[in-house]
A = this chain, B = another copy of it.
Amino acid sequence: MSRIFAFAVGTARSSTAGTPLDFYFPAPVINPDPDLAALIEGSFSSGVHQVAPGSLDRFAEAVGDPAMADVMRRLAAADRAMTAVRLDADEPIDSPAAAYLKLHLLSHRLALPNTLNLDGVFAHLPNVAWTDAGPIDPAELPAAQLKARLDGGHIEVLAVDKFPRMTNYVIPSGVRIADASRIRLGAYLGDGTTVMHEGQINFNAGALGPNMVEGRISQGVILGEHSDLGGSASTMGTLSGGGEITISIGKHCLIGANAGTGIPLGDRCTIEAGLYITAGTPVTLIDETGEDVRTMKARELAGGSDLLFIRNGRTGRIECRSNRKAIELNDQLHAHN
């Protein structure tokens, strides 16, 4: 167990009034090995601190990892103060810098969604106007907008939000993102993830890759390898509507276009296009011979594999059939009933 939970050095931007707006950490660290932990402990005290760039020289020289050493050398050569964050344990977030560090850890693939303590993230992230003139405190924006207009231009305001767009901080390797405005910092995009224009990924949520994401991955939701989320498909998050169940979708699943799920799914599951399954939806389970097993709430099927959910076009009944490609797993499912 490392004595250091997480660490990063990077740049900060502030409002005219001096309040923090954002932090950029190009080489964040989680659970460093003993050598690096000792170096961090010897160089930085716990918590959030402004540091002079020159003070990073010694650290940059001593770091073993060449990529991190290179980043540190660049930071050390800068002409502005840096922010260093050293967290000794994964405790609730108590500062904007700590919030940004944890969001970076997720998007740098250093931590999976639902593995970090994110309590306090909303309370400590400032609301920011993200503009083509940089981040601006919303309270300072009207005056800035007026000034730009009087100069014949305008400020393009892209968002007013606590969470910035991931791609302005880190772009994980091996991904394609058709519209970067829809992915928040703190999203986890595994290698081979393609997010189409209609795809959206919240913070503390993601796709393990490879995946095709054309729907919405809500806070807390994880999409497993080789699963597709169809256009406008919905996954219920725990922040709104989804209650206490954390939704995950296993491997080789297909959630059809305009479909949705309020229950977690195992592997090789399909929900047909246009069908929304919530935890309380009555579902009739049908076995591999075509016989009805019984009707139950969908939550009883939570986490099951090899399930095919449809709404019968003749009767309007919602049915769950074993996926014919993997019928041998159906017995196991029945055993749980």
User: Could you tell me which A residues sit within 8 Å of B by CB distance?
Assistant: 10-11, 13, 24, 26, 71, 74-75, 78, 80, 127, 129, 132, 134, 138, 141-142, 145-147, 149-150, 152-163, 165, 167-171, 173, 175-182, 184, 197-198, 200, 212, 214, 216, 218, 228, 230-232, 234, 236, 240-241, 254, 256-260, 262, 272-276, 278, 281-284, 295, 311-318
Contacts and interface: CB of A to CB of B under 8 A. Distances in A.
A292 to B, nearest CB: 11
A200 B200 contact: no
A241 B214 CA distance: 12
B284 A273 contact: no
Contacts of A168: 145, 154-157
Most central of A160, A169, A236, A284 by chain B CB within 10 Å: A160
A159 B142 contact: no
A282 to B, nearest CB: 4
A228 B236 CA distance: 14
Contacts of A282: 312-314
Contacts of A138: 171, 173
Given A13-B152, A154-B24, A273-B234, A177 B159 contact: yes
13 contacts: A26-B146, A80-B150, A132-B156, A138-B173, A158-B180, A160-B167, A162-B176, A163-B178, A230-B234, A241-B257, A258-B259, A282-B312, A313-B318
A109 B331 CA distance: 55
Contact of A234 (B11, B142, B258): B258
A217 to B, nearest CB: 11
A313 B281 contact: yes
